[in-house]
Chain A
C-alpha cells in the first residue's frame, strides 16, 4: 500500500512538469527550460507558418555588437489562425521584443511566451491569453 501511495504522490508532483503546454504536439518540458527565461529585441528574419508549430527567427545583437540568430516556437498555425493571426501578422523585417523560455539543449531556440511589435507596442500574444474562459 505504501508503494502505491508513493507512486500516486510522485505522479501528483510530476504532473505540472510534463503537461503539454506548448501544444498537443509535444510537452513543454521535453524541450524547453522554465528556469531559463529570455528577453531579446531584434528584427524578424524568417517566418515558418507551418504545422506542427509556427517558428520565427530574430537577429539579436550581442554585447560585442555581433548578430546572432534565435529561433522561437509559437503554437500551430491552426491555433494562431483561430486566435486572429494570419501568416502576415508577423513579417520579415519587423522589429520585435520576444519573451521566451530557452531550449534545454543550449541551442539558440526558445518557446515564445510574448511577442511585442516595437513599431506599435502591440502585443501579439496578449489578445489570446487568460480570462477568455470557455469561449468558443
Chain B
C-alpha cells in the first residue's frame, strides 16, 4: 500500500471521531431563553441576529464550520470534514497574494520535518492565533458593554477585547494571544490584536509569525446562527503581503463549554520520536 494511502487511513481513523458532534452536552440541553424558536422548539438559525444596546449581540457558543479536507487527504472512509483553515491558513492564497518570505518557508519545512512534535499545543502551550478560532472545539463569546470576552474550550484559554478605546501598550510584554482592542463599525466588530510573541502557530501545519504580527478580525453575526470572521494576517517580517481569509462559524444553541486542562493526562510528548 502506498505511503499516501496509509497516512490517509491513519488520518481518517483518528480524525473520524471528531466528525460528528451530537446535540447533547454536559448541561443536558438547557434551552437558552434568549433564542427564538420554531413551533417545534428548534432554534431558528436563519432568524435575525439578536441585538444588545443597539449593537448585534455576538454572545453564544460557536463552532467553526467544517468541510471535506483537500483532495490529497481524501481517505478510505470518505471525506473527513475539518475547518477550512485549520491545517493551512494560506489554503486560498492565490498568485499575487502574500507569500512566505524564504526564512518563513524554511522554518515551516523544519517544523514539518519534525512531524508536528514541536507544535505548542502538543506541549500544553496555547494554540496560537488565529488557528484557535478555526479549531474543532467550540468557543464562547460573552458580550459586555466595555469589553468582549472570548472563551476557547481548547486549553481553557480566554481573550479580552477591550472596547473602551484604550491605547496600545508601549513595550508590551509579548503574549501568546496578544493584546486585543475592538470598535464597532456599523454592525461589524473590528478587533485589532498586537503584542504577540513569536512562538505561536498560525495554523496546524505550523506557519509561523514574528512578534510584529498585527491581526485584524472583522466579526459579523450574519443572522441568529451564523458568525463570519474576516481575518487579516499582517506580518511583513514573515509574509510579503497581508493575507486575508474568512472563517465561518455556526451557533451551538443550548450547549456550553467543557473543561480542558491539557496537563491533566499529557503523555504524548514522552512518546514522540
Contacts and interface: CB of A to CB of B under 8 A. Distances in A.
A21 interface: yes
- In this complex, which of B100, B105, B108 has the most chain A Cβ atoms within 10 angstroms of its Cβ? B105
A53 B9 contact: no
A11 B112 contact: yes
A34 B266 CA distance: 22
A81 to B, nearest CB: 7
Nearest to B252: A136
Interface stretch (A61-69, A89-97, A106-114): A106-114
Interface string B1-29: 00110111111111111111111111000
Nearest to B114: A30
A74 B17 CA distance: 8
A94 B12 CA distance: 25
B262 to A, nearest CB: 5
A112 B14 CA distance: 7
Given A125-B16, A125-B17, A27 B115 contact: yes
Contacts of A133: 66, 81
Nearest to B251: A136
Majority SS of interface residues in chain B? loop
Contacts of B73: 15-16, 19
Given A16-B73, A27-B119, A128-B16, A21 B261 contact: no
B13 A16 contact: no
B116 interface: yes
B19 A132 contact: yes
Interface residues of A, number: 66
A4 B114 CA distance: 21
Nearest to B6: A34
Interface stretch (B121-129, B143-151, B230-238): B121-129
B109 A10 contact: yes
Nearest to A27: B116
Majority SS of interface residues in chain A? mixed
Given A10-B109, A26-B122, A75 B17 contact: yes
A91 B10 CA distance: 25
Given A17-B112, A18-B112, A52-B265, A131 B14 contact: no
A134 interface: yes
Contacts of A4: 99, 102, 105
Interface in B115-157: 115-117, 119, 121-122, 124, 127, 135-137, 153-154
A123 B61 CA distance: 30
Contacts of B185: none
Given A17-B115, A27-B116, A135-B20, A51 B265 contact: yes
A15 B88 contact: yes
Interface in A64-105: 73-76, 78-84, 99, 101, 103-105
A16 B137 contact: no
B264 A25 contact: no
B115 A109 contact: no
B232 to A, nearest CB: 22
5 contacts: A20-B116, A80-B17, A81-B258, A82-B24, A136-B21
Given A7-B102, A24-B137, 14 more contacts: A7-B106, A7-B109, A17-B115, A18-B115, A18-B116, A24-B136, A29-B7, A30-B119, A111-B14, A113-B10, A125-B16, A128-B18, A130-B19, A135-B20
Interface of A: 3-4, 7, 10-12, 14-32, 34-35, 48, 50-53, 55, 73-76, 78-84, 99, 101, 103-105, 107, 109, 111-114, 125, 127-136
